[in-house]
C-alpha cells in the first residue's frame, strides 16, 4: 500500500474566523484542538486536489496511472452532481480504468477500503486507487460558529494491491439524517411539491459525539478481537480527526500512550473521509509509518456510518 | 441506595474533579463549567450507570432538569 495527500494553499487560522463568527482562538483550541485548517480558494478544485494526492501515492508505489485498474473516490460532496469525481480525477491522471464515487460521510475511507478489498479478492482489480477528495468548505454553514470552525478541505489517496495487509474490517450504518446532514438545491421540477431550500451543513454535535465515542470504542475492540490482537500489539491507532476530545476519550478507554494516536487535526481540522489517508501519508513522509507496522483505523460520520479496520502496512 | 440526584452529582463530580456535595440541583451546566461535549459525555455515563436513555435538548439546562427526566423514565 502507498499513500499520498494534497492540501489547498490557503491556511485559515482560528483568528481569521473571528472576523465573521462569534468565537475565539482560545475557545476553538480548548474545545476541539484545532488551530488552523486549509480551505480551497481561487480556482482550486476538489478533483485537482484528488489527482495531486493520487499522483503522490502512485509515485510512492512506483507505478503509473496506466497501471491502475479501478478508482474509488470517496467524497461527501462531489465536485459536480455528475460526472462522478472519480471520473474527473481519472481524466486528470490520464488513467483508463473504471471509476465511481462512494459517499459514506467521514467513514468513506473505510467503506472504500472494504470495496477495494472485495474487488482485489475477486480478482476484478489488481491495483486499485482510493481517493478521498473532500471539500466541506463548499457545504459548510459559514454563519454557524458551532460547525464552520471544525472542518477543512483535503485529499488523501491510497494505492492498494492484491494480497496486501487488510486483516479485518467491520462497517455499520444507522440511518439518521436528523443529527448530521446537508442538501443541495432542489432544481425546478414542476412535479414536485414546494421546492426545498438548500440546507448547508447541520450537525447536532452532542448526539454525534455520543455516537462517535460509544461506537469507536466498540468497533476498535471488535476488530482487535477479530484479529486476535491486544491494544499493546498495535503500533498506531489512526482515528478519524473530528475532535481531539473524541480521540482522547478513545485513548483513555484503550489505556494506550499518546504517541500511538497520531493527529493532524490541529493543522487541518476535520477533513471528512480524507483525514485517515492524509494522516497516513504524512506519517509516510516523516518516517513514523514503517513497513510491517500494525494499524487500527476507526471512523464515524454522516449516515450515520461507522467502521474500523486492522491493517498491516 | 443512592438517589437519582446523588448518582448524577457523583458523576458530575467525577467529570469536573470536585466534591459531590458542591453540586446543587438548581445549578446549570454552565455554572458547573461543563461545555456541550462535557454534557454529552456526562449523559453517556448517566445512561450507562442508570440504564436510561437521555435525549440531549436545549431545554436540558440544570441538574434538576436531568434528574426529572431520569425519574420520569424510571416510573
The CATH number assigned to the domain with range A169-312 reads: 3.40.47.10
Residue A300 belongs to what H/E stretch? strand A294-301
DSSP-derived letter for residue A236 is E
Note the pLDDT tens digit of each residue in A243-271.
Answer: 998 898 888 888 899 999 999 999 999 99
Whether A2-163 and A169-312 share one fold: the answer is: yes
A206–B35: do the CB atoms touch at under 8 Å? no
CA A263 from centre of chain: 13
pLDDT over 90 at B16, yes or no:
no
pLDDT value for A307: 97
pLDDT over 90 at A109, yes or no:
yes
E-assigned strand segments in A93-198: 99-102, 127-134, 154-161, 166-173, 180-183
Mutant choice from A179, A209, A215 vs B, greatest count of B C-beta within 10 A = A209
Across A91-105, A258-272, B15-29, least confident range: B15-29
pLDDT value for B54: 84
> A214 to chain B: which residues are within 8 Å by CB?
44
Lookup: cell for A57:
501515492
Q: How far is CA A130 from CA A46, A67, A249, A291, in A?
A: 14, 14, 29, 19
**Across the interface, which of A206, A213, A214 has its CB nearest the CB of B36?**
A206
pLDDT value for A91: 97
SS3 A270: strand
A31–B37: do the CB atoms touch at under 8 Å? yes
B36–A205: do the CB atoms touch at under 8 Å? yes
pLDDT value for A74: 98
Note the pLDDT tens digit of each residue in A122-143.
Answer: 999 999 999 999 999 999 999 9
Mean pLDDT of B30-36: 85
pLDDT value for A302: 96
pLDDT value for B69: 87
More confidently predicted of A183 and A236? A236
The radius of gyration of chain B's CA atoms, rounded to the nearest angstrom, is 11
pLDDT value for A233: 95
Dmax over Cα atoms in chain B, in whole Å?
31
Model-level ipTM above the cut of 0.90: no
In order of their start, the domains of chain B are 4-74 (1.10.1200.10)
**Across the interface, which of B36, B37, B44 has its CB nearest the CB of A214?**
B44
Lookup: cell for A195:
421546492
Note the pLDDT tens digit of each residue in A160-216.
Answer: 998 778 999 999 999 999 999 998 888 888 888 877 788 999 999 888 988 898 888
Question: Which residues of A have a CB under 8 Å from any CB of B?
Answer: 31, 204-207, 209-210, 213-214, 243, 245, 249
Chain-wide mean pLDDT for chain A?
94
Domain residue limits, chain A:
2-163, 169-312
The vertex-B65 CA angle with A32 and A31, nearest 5°, equals 5
Which CATH class, in words, describes the domain spanning A2-163? alpha beta
Note the pLDDT tens digit of each residue in A42-79.
Answer: 999 999 999 999 999 999 999 999 999 999 999 998 99
Does A240 participate in catalysis according to the annotation?
A: yes
B43–A210: do the CB atoms touch at under 8 Å? yes
pLDDT value for A190: 85
The vertex-A179 CA angle with A174 and A180, nearest 5°, equals 85
pLDDT value for A188: 84
Surface-to-core class of residue A259, CB atoms within 10 Å of its CB (0-12 exposed, 13-18 middle, 19+ buried): exposed
Choice among B17, B19, B35, B48 that is catalytic: B35
The CA distance from B43 to the nearest CA of chain A, in Å, is: 9
Amino acid at each position: 500500500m502507498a499513500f499520498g495527500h494534497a492540501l489547498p494553499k490557503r491556511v485559515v487560522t482560528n483568528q481569521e474566523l473571528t472576523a465573521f463568527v462569534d468565537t475565539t482562538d482560545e475557545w476553538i483550541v480548548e474545545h476541539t484542538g484545532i488551530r488552523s485548517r486549509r480551505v480551497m480558494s481561487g480556482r482550486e478544485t476538489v478533483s485537482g486536489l484528488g489527482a495531486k494526492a493520487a499522483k503522490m501515492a502512485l509515485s510512492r508505489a512506483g507505478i503509473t496511472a496506466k497501471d491502475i485498474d479501478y478508482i474509488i473516490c470517496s467524497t461527501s460532496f462531489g465536485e459536480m452532481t455528475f460526472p462522478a469525481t472519480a471520473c474527473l480525477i481519472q481524466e486528470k491522471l490520464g488513467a483508463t480504468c473504471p471509476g465511481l464515487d462512494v459517499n459514506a460521510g467521514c467513514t468513506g475511507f473505510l467503506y472504500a477500503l472494504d470495496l477495494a478489498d472485495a474487488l482485489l479478492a475477486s480478482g476484478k482489480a489488481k491495483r486499485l486507487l482510493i481517493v478521498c477528495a473532500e471539500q466541506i468548505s463548499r457545504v459548510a454553514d459559514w454563519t454557524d460558529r458551532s460547525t464552520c470552525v471544525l472542518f477543512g478541505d483535503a485529499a488523501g489517496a491510497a494505492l492498494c494491491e492484491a494480497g496486501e495487509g487488510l486483516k479485518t474490517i467491520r462497517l455499520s450504518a444507522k440511518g439518521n439524517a436528523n443529527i448530521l446532514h446537508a442538501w443541495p438545491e432542489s432544481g425546478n421540477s414542476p412535479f414536485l411539491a414546494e421546492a426545498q431550500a438548500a440546507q448547508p451543513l447541520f450537525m447536532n454535535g452532542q448526539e454525534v459525539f455520543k455516537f462517535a465515542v460509544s461506537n469507536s470504542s466498540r468497533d476498535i475492540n471488535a476488530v482487535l478481537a477479530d484479529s486476535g490482537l491486544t491494544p499493546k500489539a498495535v503500533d498506531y491507532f489512526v482515528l478519524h480527526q473530528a475532535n481531539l476530545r473524541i480521540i482522547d476519550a478513545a485513548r483513555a478507554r484503550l489505556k494506550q500512550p499518546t504517541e500511538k494516536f497520531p493527529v493532524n487535526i490541529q493543522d487541518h481540522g476535520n477533513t471528512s473521509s480524507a483525514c485517515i489517508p492524509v494522516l497516513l501519508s504524512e506519517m509516510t513522509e516523516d518516517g513514523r509509518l514503517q513497513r510491517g507496522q500494525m494499524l487500527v483505523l476507526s471512523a464515524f460520520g454522516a449516515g450515520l456510518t461507522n467502521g474500523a479496520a486492522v491493517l498491516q502496512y | 441506595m443512592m438517589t437519582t440526584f446523588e448518582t448524577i452529582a457523583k458523576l458530575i463530580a467525577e467529570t469536573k474533579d470536585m466534591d459531590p456535595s458542591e453540586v446543587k440541583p438548581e445549578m446549570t451546566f454552565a455554572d458547573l463549567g461543563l461545555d456541550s461535549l462535557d454534557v454529552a459525555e456526562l449523559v453517556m455515563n448517566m445512561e450507562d450507570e442508570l440504564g436510561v436513555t437521555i435525549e440531549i435538548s436545549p431545554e436540558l439546562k440544570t441538574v434538576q432538569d436531568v434528574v426529572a427526566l431520569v425519574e420520569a423514565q424510571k416510573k
